[in-house]
């Protein structure tokens, strides 16, 4: 019997592959290309990107134009290089002359019936318009409230006497005027509707008094269309819903009436410390410039604001848990938004129209109402005193409708 031993077979050893020489050649060739070819490509701007050394652009390589970028980059993509610190400094330098201090001076009577004038408070203001020999300044109502005299403090600390044109308690806005010869800069008005949550914002004003005039704080837009209840007579019920922009840029007493700016240096809001009602870190409010413009224009014309009056304290449905929509308000599933009435003023148009507490308004003049902001816009932008308002609402799950005659908002 034959025996076969596989391990006893002789085999030839494989030859050792010679890999060292190609590896060395590859390294040398790569170093040559990096040292010689890459700088040539950079200098001739043939790369689809910019070489950055040490966090800074190569000084020998100019930035490509937008047209060149578009040739080398996908459609809809562009290079954006912004130095925030430098941009803020540029904006502040340009805008600061248009942001002024506002001093509220009131006449006081002492025990011997002698009158003397004293400073009751300070705030900020923004020069927004020059018309002939008059310069117009917007500030907050609470900054000039009760003033017998108003004084403007310019960015160079020059003091100028000013005159109150008109003010409005509800929007916390006021217009004052001074001699246009003292106005060296008018601020550019922006558009608060286009403001995006998360974009940078700059606040300029005079926090804590004139000794800190022209103070600058920077943050972001934290929210839009925030509805903040305002109780003017301190009876525990909201008299107004202020629609504001929320920012985390520091706004302190004295900042009121100052400017909230975007990164274009445009005015997007008027800061108001009073709306916040209490000092809360990281939360500041500004009145959107789109709401400011019609108010200050009417104040220029008439010195006061005439508003249609419905006579309800109302809140957005979204302010309460959705489970309560069905359990407490008995709303059908088809209702997706609206406002609920917390209380009705006696003898008001709403009272005369039969509205009651916890009725839910879903339409005004057949236009859907999603929240308290929609109510205010419709009532104060589209309606006038004396006009009729058709209200569609729900009560205990039943859809009802009433028509009321709007009266004047009491002062």
- For the annotated catalytic residues, the residue numbers are 142, 172, 256
How far is it, in rounded angstroms, from Cα 329 to Cα 348?
Answer: 23
Triad 366, 367, 372: Cα angle to 5°: 125
Burial of 98 (0-12, 13-18, 19+ CB in 10 A): buried
What's the token pair of residue 201?
A: 């914002």
How far is it, in rounded angstroms, from Cα 186 to Cα 207?
Answer: 21
What's the token pair of residue 64?
A: 């490509």
Round the CA-based radius of gyration of the chain to a whole number and report it: 33
Contact, 162 vs 152, CB < 8 A? yes
How far is it, in rounded angstroms, from Cα 110 to Cα 99?
Answer: 35
DSSP string of 185-211? --PPB--GGG--TT-EEEEEE-TTSGG
Contact, 138 vs 144, CB < 8 A? no
3-state secondary structure of 213: coil
Instruction: Look up tokens 């489970």; give the residue.
Output: 323
Closest listed residue to residue 221, CA positions, set 248, 260, 244: 248
Instruction: Look up tokens 């008094």; give the residue.
Output: 209
User: What pairs with residue 227 in β-bridges?
Assistant: 243
Give the number of other CB atoms < 10 A from CB of residue 130: 13
How far is it, in rounded angstroms, from Cα 345 to Cα 239?
Answer: 11
How far is it, in rounded angstroms, from Cα 336 to Cα 339?
Answer: 11
Contact, 178 vs 90, CB < 8 A? no
How far is it, in rounded angstroms, from Cα 135 to Cα 133?
Answer: 7
Closest listed residue to residue 372, CA positions, set 302, 298, 320, 303: 320
Contact, 291 vs 318, CB < 8 A? no
How far is it, in rounded angstroms, from Cα 216 to Cα 94?
Answer: 13
């Amino acid at each position: 019997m034959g025996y076969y031993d596989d391990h006893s077979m002789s085999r030839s050893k494989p030859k050792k592959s010679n890999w060292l020489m190609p590896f060395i050649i590859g390294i040398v060739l790569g170093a040559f290309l990096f040292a010689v070819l890459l700088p040539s490509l950079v200098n001739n701007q043939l790369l689809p990107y910019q070489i950055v050394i040490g966090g800074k652009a190569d000084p020998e390589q100019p930035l490509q134009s937008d047209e060149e970028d578009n040739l080398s980059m996908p459609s809809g993509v562009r290079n954006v290089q912004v130095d925030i610190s430098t941009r803020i400094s540029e904006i502040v330098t340009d805008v600061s002359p248009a942001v002024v201090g506002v001093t509220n001076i009131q006449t006081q009577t002492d025990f011997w019936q002698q009158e003397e004038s004293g400073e009751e408070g300070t705030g900020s203001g923004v020069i927004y318009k020059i018309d002939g020999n008059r310069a117009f300044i917007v500030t907050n109502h609470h900054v000039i409230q009760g003033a017998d005299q108003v004084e403007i403090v310019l960015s160079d600390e020059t003091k100028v006497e000013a005159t109150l044109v008109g003010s409005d308690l509800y929007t916390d806005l006021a217009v004052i005027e001074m001699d246009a010869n003292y106005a060296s800069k008018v601020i550019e008005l922006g558009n608060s509707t286009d403001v995006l949550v998360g974009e940078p914002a700059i606040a300029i004003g005079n926090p804590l008094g004139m000794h800190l005039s022209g103070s600058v704080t920077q943050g972001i837009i934290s929210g839009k269309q925030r509805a903040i209840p305002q109780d003017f007579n301190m009876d525990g019920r909201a008299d107004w819903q202020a629609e504001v922009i929320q920012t985390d840029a520091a706004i302190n007493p004295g900042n009121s009436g100052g400017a909230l700016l975007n990164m274009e240096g445009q005015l997007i809001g008027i800061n108001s410390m009073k709306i916040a009602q209490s000092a809360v870190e990281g939360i500041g409010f500004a009145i959107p410039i789109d709401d400011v413009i019609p108010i200050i224009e009417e104040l220029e014309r008439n010195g006061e604001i005439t508003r249609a009056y419905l006579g309800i304290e109302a809140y957005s449905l979204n302010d309460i848990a959705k489970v309560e929509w069905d359990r407490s308000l008995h709303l059908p599933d088809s209702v997706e938004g609206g406002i609920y009435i917390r209380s009705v003023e006696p003898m008001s148009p709403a009272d005369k129209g039969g509205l009651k507490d916890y009725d839910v308004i879903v339409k005004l003049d057949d236009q859907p109402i999603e929240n308290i902001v929609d109510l205010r816009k419709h009532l104060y932008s589209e309606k006038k005193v004396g006009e009729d308002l058709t209200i569609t609402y729900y009560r205990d799950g039943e859809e009802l409708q009433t028509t009321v005659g709007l009266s004047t908002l009491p002062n």
